[in-house]
């Protein structure tokens, strides 16, 4: 999987550009409202969704498997603490965070990896902390394409496996982690003209007080 992401990374970053996703903008507003000061971004990539938090006074720590992505972030002035490795190897430290934001990553994991990842994120939240995930929906045009590996789970192309969520599977996987809100969001491709928006689902959980 590492080789796949390294080889396709430059192409993907050119596709998405450097503007933050709408999910990141909404999450930034929510975190500011809730006085969240210190967040973890698993799968931080080249930082397009990190800058908007940093620009608003929120401390950001990242996890990223692609050294190419980390180097690109630094070249663009994003000097944040980033652990090099896979989110499947979390936790990388014993720190607890006010918030966690994860964009378009969880659906790339297998069922076992998703279960561990959600649990690991929740355990790294402070009491009253929030974790927000944005994930691909079954409404996406690529749903059902490629080789089916399981229920709602497809190998879209060689090396790229995706699980497609709906509200039922969100509830099943997140209900034990104080799921407080599920909403649909259409993410436009801001870096290209005449490209369709992608249907995503935003998932919001809040850890209970200790």
Alpha helices in 17-109 (DSSP H): 22-33, 51-54, 67-75
Average pLDDT for the chain: 89
- pLDDT tens digits for 150-178? 999 999 999 899 999 999 999 999 999 99
Indicate the pLDDT class of residue 195, thresholds 50, 70 and 90: low
- What is the structure's pLDDT at 78? 87
Buried b (16+ CB within 10 A) or exposed e, 158-178: eeebbbbbeeebbeebbeebe
- What is the structure's pLDDT at 75? 87
CA angle 23, 160, 88 (to 5 degrees): 70
Q: CA torsion angle for 198, 21, 192, 158 (degrees, to 10)?
A: -60
Least confident of 7-16, 126-135, 163-172, 197-206: 7-16
Contact 210, 163 (CB under 8 A): no
Domains for the chain: give ranges and CATH numbers: 2-206 (3.40.50.150)
- pLDDT tens digits for 111-129? 999 999 999 999 999 999 9
> Residue 126's closest CA among 193, 204, 195, 207?
207
Taking residues 204-210, what's their average pLDDT? Answer: 91
- What is the structure's pLDDT at 3? 36
Contact 155, 149 (CB under 8 A): yes
- What is the structure's pLDDT at 17? 66
3-state class (DSSP) for residue 48? coil
Q: For residue 7, which phi and psi values (nearest 5 degrees)?
A: -70, -30
Pairing label, strands 81-84, 179-187 = unpaired
Q: For residue 116, which phi and psi values (nearest 5 degrees)?
A: -65, -40
Which residues make beta-bridge pairs with 186?
199
C-alpha 142/C-alpha 148 separation (Å) is 12
- pLDDT tens digits for 62-108? 999 999 888 988 888 888 899 999 999 999 999 999 999 999 999 99
Indicate the pLDDT class of residue 196, thresholds 50, 70 and 90: low
Number of H helices, E strands in the chain: 6, 10
Residues 6+ apart with CB under 8 A from 32: 56, 58
C-alpha 151/C-alpha 163 separation (Å) is 8
- What is the structure's pLDDT at 79? 86
């Amino acid at each position: 999987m590492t080789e796949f992401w390294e080889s396709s990374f430059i192409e993907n970053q050119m596709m998405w550009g450097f503007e933050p996703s709408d999910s990141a903008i909404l999450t930034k507003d929510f975190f500011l409202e809730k006085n969240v000061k210190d967040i973890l971004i698993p799968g931080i990539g080249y930082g397009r969704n990190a800058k908007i938090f940093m620009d608003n006074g929120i401390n950001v720590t990242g996890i990223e498997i692609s050294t190419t992505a980390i180097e690109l972030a630094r070249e663009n002035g994003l000097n944040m603490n980033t652990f090099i490795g896979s989110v499947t190897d979390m936790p990388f430290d014993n720190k607890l965070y006010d918030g966690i934001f994860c964009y378009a990553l969880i659906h790339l994991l297998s069922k076992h990896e998703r279960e561990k990842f959600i649990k690991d994120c929740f355990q790294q939240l402070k009491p009253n902390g929030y974790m927000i995930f944005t994930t691909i929906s079954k409404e996406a045009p690529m749903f059902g394409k490629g080789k089916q590996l399981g229920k709602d789970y497809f190998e879209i192309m060689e090396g790229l496996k995706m699980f497609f969520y709906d509200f039922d599977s969100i509830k099943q996987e997140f209900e034990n982690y104080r799921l407080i809100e599920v909403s649909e969001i259409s993410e436009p491709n801001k870096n290209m003209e005449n490209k369709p928006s992608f249907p995503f689902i935003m998932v919001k959980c809040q850890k209970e007080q200790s």
